[in-house]
Copies of this chain bind each other. A is one copy, B any other.
Amino acid sequence: MVGGRSDDGKKMAAPKLSRKKLVELLRSEFPEASHALGRYRIEKVWHGGCRVRLPFHERTLRPGGTIAGPVMMGLADFTMYVAVLSAIGWVPLAVTTNLAINFLKKPAPRDLIAEARLLKLGKRLAVGEVAIRSDGQSDLLAHVTATYSIPAGS
C-alpha cells in the first residue's frame, strides 16, 4: 500500500500538500464544479490518503429514507481526488478514468465519512480505494475503487 490508514496507529508520511493548502487551492480553482469543496469537509490528509466528511442534508435522501447513491459516488470521487493530490501535489487536471462502487448497506440519515487510500501510485496511473461509513458507525455503506490518470510531465 502506498498510503497509511488514518486508523491503524502507524506513523503516516506527510502529504505533498497540507490540508490547509489543499482547501485554499480547491476553493480558488474549482469555484463551481463538483470537485469544488461545496459541502465536503476535508478532515485529515496524509501521504496517499485522506478523510472527508459530508454533513447530512435532507436533500440527499431518496424514498425509503436512504441517502441517494450518486451522493456517495460524488463523495468517493472527490475523496479519491484529494488522496491523489496528497501524493503527487497540485495537479488539478488529474482525471478519473475508472470508478467502481459496491453499495453495501442502506445509509442512516447521518453525516457520511469517506476515507481514501492509494493502492498504487505510478507515473501514469494512481489506483485507490475509498470506504464510506455513517459517522460513528463501523459498518461499510459503500466500497469504491477508482483509477486516476496523471497527465504526462506532472
Contact = CB atoms under 8 A, between A and B. Distances in A.
Interface of A: 1, 29-30, 32-35, 58-64, 66, 68-71, 73-74, 77-78, 92-93, 95-106, 119-120, 124-125, 127, 129, 138-140, 143, 145, 147, 149
A142 B140 CA distance: 21
Nearest to A95: B103
A138 B1 CA distance: 7
B63 A145 contact: no
B77 A70 contact: yes
A145 B34 CA distance: 22
A100 B99 contact: yes
17 contacts: A1-B140, A30-B62, A33-B59, A34-B62, A34-B71, A69-B95, A69-B99, A70-B74, A74-B74, A97-B103, A97-B125, A98-B103, A99-B101, A102-B119, A102-B127, A102-B147, A129-B143
Contacts of A63: 29-30, 33, 35, 92-93
Contacts of A95: 66, 69, 103, 106
Number of copies: 4
A111 to B, nearest CB: 18
Contact of A70 (B30, B73, B106): B73
A1 B1 CA distance: 19
A58 B73 contact: no
A68 B35 contact: yes
Contacts of A139: 1
